[in-house]
Amino acid sequence: MAGFLAGMSSSMGVQTVVIIHNEGTQDEERIDAQASIRANKGTFEVETPIYEGDIVEMDDPRGGRDRRVAVDVKVHTIHPQRTTVTWGKSAPVRTAPVRRLVLENLHAQVISCSSDLFNDGQFSAAVSEAFKSPRKAVTVEELGADWLASQPMLHKQLDEIRRVLRAADKDRNGHL
């Protein structure tokens, strides 16, 4: 049995779209579907799995991609069977709430001890671990003559930690 959209032509706005469920999560799912797209609404086959909150991406006739969010989904089970969707405000492209800072100038031990805490927004704990990590990395046997040579490296590491924290503080306050 042919679906509702089978009798419509592309001149009536029928096109292939991508429906995105749970965007930005590990459960994100993308489904290609046919739909008749209009400015405020879209019409899908009744069996199309589209739900409120889903994002619908389609080609923009002006170039690029258009993104819309499904705010009202109605399944019509009487003839002609179809699903109609009312669009809400365009869903913005997702961006991280805090810009991830790169910690490439830090010693590997400092990064491994503090980067997860820093990226999770636990700045105080990250600083604490960053300051402790050089001490953990140096054993008593390694102290001796090498200790004096390592002092500039420790100061350089601490300066880099301060730079990263100042940048993170500016990001949190909306200054880039």
The amino acid present at 131, given as its one-letter code, is F
Q: Is 65 exposed, middle or buried (0-12, 13-18, 19+ CB in 10 A)?
A: exposed
CB-CB contact of 54 with 28 (8 Å): no
Angle between helices 108-119 and 123-137 (to 10 degrees): 160
Check residue 1 and give its pLDDT.
40
Q: Buried b vs exposed e over 21-46: b needs ≥16 C-beta within 10 Å?
A: bebeeeeeeeeebbbbbeeeebbbbe
Check residue 140 and give its pLDDT.
41
CA 127, 131, 136, 138 torsion-angle sign: positive
Q: Is 14 exposed, middle or buried (0-12, 13-18, 19+ CB in 10 A)?
A: middle
Check residue 165 and give its pLDDT.
77
Residue 70's H or E segment, with its range, is: strand 65-76
Check residue 154 and give its pLDDT.
63
CB-CB contact of 21 with 31 (8 Å): yes
pLDDT in tens, the chain (176 residues): 456 555 555 556 789 999 999 888 889 999 999 999 998 999 999 999 999 999 999 988 888 888 999 999 999 998 889 999 999 876 556 555 555 555 556 666 667 777 777 777 777 777 777 767 655 554 444 445 555 455 666 667 667 777 777 777 776 666 54
Domains of the chain are: 4-87 (2.40.10.10), 108-172 (no CATH)
Distances (CA, A) of 101 to 44, 53, 159, 172: 42, 31, 15, 12
Check residue 125 and give its pLDDT.
76
Q: Using CA atoms, how far apart are residues 110 and 2, in angstroms rounded to an integer?
A: 62
The amino acid present at 45, given as its one-letter code, is E
The distance of Cα 105 from the centroid of its chain, to the nearest Å, equals 25
Tell me if the pTM is above 0.85: no
